[in-house]
């Protein structure tokens, strides 16, 4: 198994998807298009996990926890990014 080299995410407004790209040090690249529905489910699961699992919450950076717990999901499709953070 090769080592992780780079992760990136970008929003594709024409498809209303997030492109998640992962590349390895041996020059392999993996791409996954994340749908709005999947991201919504994933964020809900992360939120519940951080709220319930105190052991996990202790090892995850506090800024990451605040960002995940502060995520809001737009009710309808729009041309804005899928997730917005509360102040």
Does residue 81 surpass a pLDDT of 70? no
Does residue 22 surpass a pLDDT of 60? yes
Residue 23 belongs to a domain: yes
Residue 50 belongs to a domain: yes
Roughly what angle, to the nearest 10 degrees, separates helices 62-69 and 36-52?
Answer: 130
What residues make up the domain containing 42? Answer: 4-77
Residue 38 belongs to a domain: yes
27-70: per-residue pLDDT in tens?
899 999 999 888 888 888 877 887 787 777 676 777 776 776 67
Q: Residue 31: its pLDDT value, please?
A: 92
When divided into structural domains, the chain yields a total of 1
Q: Residue 86: its pLDDT value, please?
A: 45
Residue 85 belongs to a domain: no
């Amino acid at each position: 198994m090769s080592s992780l080299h780079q992760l990136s995410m970008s929003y594709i407004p024409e498809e209303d998807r997030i492109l998640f790209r992962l590349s390895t040090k041996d020059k392999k690249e993996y791409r996954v298009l994340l749908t709005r529905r999947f991201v919504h489910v994933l964020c809900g699961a992360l939120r519940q996990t951080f709220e319930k699992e105190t052991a996990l919450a202790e090892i995850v950076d506090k800024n990451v926890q605040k960002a995940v717990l502060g995520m809001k999901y737009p009710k309808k499709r729009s041309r804005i990014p899928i997730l917005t953070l509360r102040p």
